[in-house]
Structure 1
């Protein structure tokens, strides 16, 4: 619709929400109120904020035309995520100017919920969503959108799953067997060692075995694979990063980067993204998600393979991302915002995201459609690709989600600083995590 394409500034978009300041507690919703039009009879106006990537806004605008056609009493204005989105959203929420409906994920989404800025969706979900819909989502992902006290702050947007991409041409060149579902971390290390090379003879490594993002959930899944945790599952104030299993996993990663030098650091690849380092053939493998698939297929000039994530010494795990949709607790129009969220979690919107950029659907019933879109657009590159590897954790029930402290904002602040020193710069030993745990636990006590 024309209104949804108006070139308004971010400030103007957010002012449309007209939200009042919210209380620090999560707000319980009261579903099934009658929609309230403004006194002049004009549609209720909502602001919907989501990804700023080039492909997303045109897709969203097209889908919002369908929403407007079936919801004439609601007019939705799309605005892209700002830079420094996690921090900016906190400021907007504190100021009472946050968008009515938004996407969130990872560590920042539960942080907003902990601070009381997200609407409790539980009443709406109970009233409007049947069990078949809920069962269509990955249980681990769905449960990740609840706070410890049972408040439901989000619903799944898509099911980002982590797997191991590999360069088939390089594996063939060095006569290495392709990774498969039987691989463990010993197999992974052996392949990294065999694939790390100084290609031009200048004494400097040009090709590394693998790479991962230094972030909360990407590190956590290695810890889980060793049998450890970041957070005590029974106590969100108890830090377990300093336990032997956790420390062993983190040391394994540090040693691969700074002792063996078979895993590339950001500095090694000149700060390009993990997927771009793989496309550039700076790394032979990369730990990345289904969300990177289209970029990799578009950019790769070699044959791409995908395998399930290697098993750890204790168990097999992979990541299910916690990308979801939420409603601002300060919205003036919670019922209309819920109507929009129902549209965003629909099969039609899931298919639109899957078709536009191969986002792996949150609904298991759409996985075959998603695979079809990939094979249709890239018939040659994808014909021998094990796309099902991304769904393996969902199908075989070994997916995990981000572990969340009671005071997540402080936990991420302490860990980010430590991980930069340990992994990115290689300037601190893994024992620094001992002090980080003490800082995190002190911050949890302050929250209480």
Structure 2
């Protein structure tokens, strides 16, 4: 997801609040031709991934001559509202990309097929997947999706700007922050932040109202690419357990929120939220392309966007460590089988193929997403190494301390409430504690 698409998550979540999905006892509108050929509909939202997926599907169709697959591409901003409308009308695609923010409500509403019987019948070896990714699609002993990919958050930096400031990638990867003076992380960002007169924030006369280059840019509708990561580095747990209550108002979480606010309002080393967090704010790749910031915290899904705009003049470093160490949000998508499909057996064959090593090798070759099968990670690194970019920081982080995306039936409420309350925090209009208290209370009240 780009920054713009993450903001669209809130709009889609609002739609989920208003749209009562009907349990899928109907069927999709997939067809069967006169010669017995079945046409499956496959929904996705990322145009960058479509060419590689088409190659995978071409290979699938050769192996399954009686199955054709039609890709339905809808941008993230429209994807969820359209999918929810289709589910309500029982015309959803046979197979579709699923996100853990929506998985809980879909599982509860019965619109996802439990894959467990298919897995057992075909003796599918699920040990090839990362156990954390696989577990993220499970509820009450049922498997509702197979891992498609994964992502973590890292520091994307402008090579030229970093060199001018006398910093290296290794130094950037080994910085640390604290709640007292910001630590070495803030000191490095001060070197990278320059006002119109050439002064840095730690120098007398620095003009915080006229900054020509910031050290850092952050943007997130829900927290995934900014304060959730700082929270992990500070020992915060967003929930008391998976599928449990929200706990974002505990001290370790609030301190992380305070630190992210301080980067903007106290230390003046991060691009103001008025630039990045408004509905029409600049996406992080745009901020980097404009040279407004030397470093951004962003997800691996945006790698192609940086390559397109910066032509190799960027690198990837690990996030800094916090008071309790390193940590990042670790997330992944799945391919889900619609419970109302007319052709569940054929749809399962597609889901199984997309989760196979053969298919994921094809996808990895495009370098758009990390594979759901960990043994293929090095192949992804190699693809980017040939383009002059070392992306291994993402996989190093995935192997370390991570925070899984929250599994909760109240994610729609959370996504709406957190954007409103926390944008006020980033603008200095509300305290981190007050915002966390209100979001926590309303999100817990919405748990079903």
Same fold at TM > 0.5 = yes
Paired residue for 2:430? 428
| Long gaps (5+) in structure 2 | 1-20, 26-30, 178-182, 199-206
Say yes or no: does 1:173 pair with 2:164: yes
Shift of 1:237: 4.1
Q: Paired residue for 1:123, among 117, 137, 140?
A: 117
Distance 2:196 2:105 in 1: 45
Query: Cα 1:182–1:129, aligned 2, differ >3 Å: closer, same or farther?
Result: farther
Paired residue for 1:336? 346
1:210, 1:263 within 8 Å by CA — same for their partners in 2?
Answer: yes
Paired residue for 1:194? 191
Say yes or no: does 1:60 pair with 2:53: yes
Within-5 A mapping of 1:5-154: 23=23, 40-53=34-47, 55-82=48-75, 83-128=77-122, 130-131=124-125, 134-147=126-139, 149-154=140-145
TM-score of the pair, normalised by structure 1: 0.82
1:156, 1:345 within 8 Å by CA — same for their partners in 2?
Answer: yes
Say yes or no: does 1:392 pair with 2:416: no
Of 274-283 and 38-47, deviating more is 38-47
The SS at the match of 2:91 is coil
TM-score of the pair, normalised by structure 2: 0.82
Within-5 A mapping of 1:224-303: 224-233=232-241, 236-268=243-275, 271-300=281-310, 303=313
Shift of 1:325: 0.9
Query: Cα 1:406–1:315, aligned 2, differ >3 Å: closer, same or farther?
Result: farther
The SS at the match of 2:430 is coil
Distance 1:24 1:93 in 2: 7
Shift of 1:105: 1.8
2:41, 2:72 within 8 Å by CA — same for their partners in 1?
Answer: yes
2:24, 2:90 within 8 Å by CA — same for their partners in 1?
Answer: no
2:273, 2:423 within 8 Å by CA — same for their partners in 1?
Answer: no
Query: Structure 1 runs of 4+ off > 6 angstroms?
Result: none
Q: C-alpha offsets along residues 67-103 of structure 1, whole Å, 9 cap, x if unaligned?
A: 1111122221111025432233222212211111001
Distance 1:108 1:305 in 2: 32
The SS at the match of 2:370 is coil
| Long gaps (5+) in structure 1 | 1-20, 26-36
Query: Cα 1:420–1:117, aligned 2, differ >3 Å: closer, same or farther?
Result: farther
2:95, 2:337 within 8 Å by CA — same for their partners in 1?
Answer: yes
Distance 1:129 1:418 in 2: 48
2:217, 2:284 within 8 Å by CA — same for their partners in 1?
Answer: yes
Distance 1:188 1:391 in 2: 21
Shift of 1:434: 0.8
